[in-house]
Copies of this chain bind each other. A is one copy, B any other.
Amino acid sequence: MKIGLGVDVGGTFAKLVAVEPRGRPLYQTQVPTEPGRGPRSFIRRLLGQIRSAELELGRKFEAVGLGVAGDVDPEKGVLRYAPNLKDWSGFSFKASLGDKLHRPLVVENDANMAAWGGFALELGKRPKTMVAITLGTGVGGGIIVDRKLYRGATGSAGEIGHMRVEPRGELCHCGSRGCLEAYAGSYGIVRSVRKLLGPGRKGSILKSLCPDLDGLTPSTIALAAEKGDPVAQAAWIRTGYYLGLGIVNLVYCFNPEAVLIVGGVSKAGPLLLKPLTEVLQSQPFRTPFRKVSVRIARRSDLGALGAALLALEESG
């Protein structure tokens, strides 16, 4: 049985996972990214880790998939730009890693990898068409058409965090206004809470959980909302509302069978699902919504798993 290796490169660590084609993980580990030492140093350490993993498992990886959070050219395997790895812009993973691996390498945006992981592992029968939305610091996505990863003209398909859901709205990290990410990315959610809190409110559950509001995170906000904090609850309603609008737009365009929400922020679960479902249900033109199932992913490591599985899929 063939096994694949998936690598999910983040700003601090790269997660490695070896999986068999049905998604069972056989081995996992981490390599520090250490962005300051440059991408070549990272590649050397990654190759060392791959070799020792193969020794430990006693078998070779058939194919390697590597996902990076950022703007990736999948054809050339080049990281065009990554907010967390700014100095690595223009670096070709395919040239530097591919040459030394002597086996197929797939390089992709991390959201596309997570979308593939979700498509392969989260939905029972693989749907024909699917959209994944990844909620983290930023908001990304990936699109499946005809049970294949759909990449688009520049490999940018699924950049749904920058769909503009409120044209004169909140500022996004990209510099534009009213992008979905500006509401549903973790920084947008934290900003919502700050705005809603204002200077006057005291004694809220939020402040007791997180006296230093500088350290607010989506998970603290979710905890506060579950304990009944009205500001935290209002923030999730706002987030779910805009996420719902984004999904409405995706459904009218793409008419997918499934929408899968993945990533750290998706752990808020019902706090997100309830308001977004209300937006979906309030659309008067119903046909495109009849066959779509909207779910939150159970697994939290879909980026690395999907990287391994996509590499196996596209090499075999």
Contact of A285 among B158, B162, B288 (CB under 8 A): B162
A175 within 8 A of partner (CB): yes
Q: Which residues of B contact A287 (CB under 8 A)?
A: 71, 80-81, 154, 156
Q: Which chain B residues lie closer than 8 Å to A141 at the CB level?
A: 253
Instruction: Evaluate contact between B129 and A291: CB separation under 8 angstroms.
Output: no
Interface residue? A28 (CB, 8 A) = no
A198 in the interface, Cβ–Cβ < 8 Å?
Answer: no
A249 contacts B249, C-beta separation under 8 Å? yes
Q: Does A290 contact B (CB under 8 A)?
A: yes
User: What is the chain B residue whose CB lies nearest that of A250?
Assistant: B253
The reply to whether the CB of A153 lies closer than 8 angstroms to some CB of chain B is yes
Determine if A157 is an interface residue (Cβ-Cβ < 8 Å). yes
- Closest B residue to A282 by beta carbon equals B176
A47 to chain B, nearest CB (A): 29
- Whether A27 is near chain B, meaning CB under 8 Å from some CB there, is no
Structural contact, B156 and A252, CB atoms closer than 8 A: yes
**Which listed residue, B156, B158, B249, B254, touches A164 by the CB 8 Å rule?**
B249
Q: Are A288 and B154 in contact (CB under 8 A)?
A: yes
What residue of chain B has the Cβ atom nearest to residue A73's Cβ? B287
Q: Binary interface profile of A, 104-134, with partner B (CB < 8 Å = 1, else 0)?
A: 0000000000000000000000001100000
- Which residue of chain B has its CB nearest to the CB of A256? B153
> Does A152 belong to the interface (CB within 8 Å)?
yes
Residue A163 is within 8 A (CB to CB) of chain B in the complex: yes
Chain B, residue nearest A148 (CB): B146
Question: 0/1 per residue, A142-168, Cβ < 8 Å to B?
Answer: 010110001111111111111111110
Q: Does A248 contact B (CB under 8 A)?
A: yes
Whether the Cβ atoms of B152 and A288 lie closer than 8 Å is yes
**Would you call A199 an interface residue if the criterion is a C-beta within 8 Å of the partner chain's C-beta atoms?**
no
**Nearest CB in chain B: distance from A271 CB, A:** 20
CB distance from A276 to the nearest CB of B (A): 13
- Tell whether, in the assembled complex, residue A253 and residue B159 are in contact, meaning their CB atoms are under 8 Å apart: yes
Interface residues of A, Cβ cutoff 8 Å to B: 71, 80-81, 128-129, 141, 143, 145-146, 150-167, 174-176, 245, 248-250, 252-257, 282-285, 287-288, 290-292
- The 27 sampled A-B contact pairs (Cβ below 8 Å) are A71-B287, A129-B152, A129-B153, A145-B146, A152-B254, A153-B255, A153-B291, A154-B255, A154-B287, A154-B290, A154-B291, A156-B288, A157-B254, A157-B255, A158-B253, A158-B255, A159-B285, A163-B248, A163-B252, A164-B245, A164-B249, A165-B167, A175-B284, A175-B285, A249-B253, A250-B253, A253-B253
The 5 closest A-B pairs by CB, nearest first: A152-B255, A175-B284, A156-B288, A157-B255, A153-B291
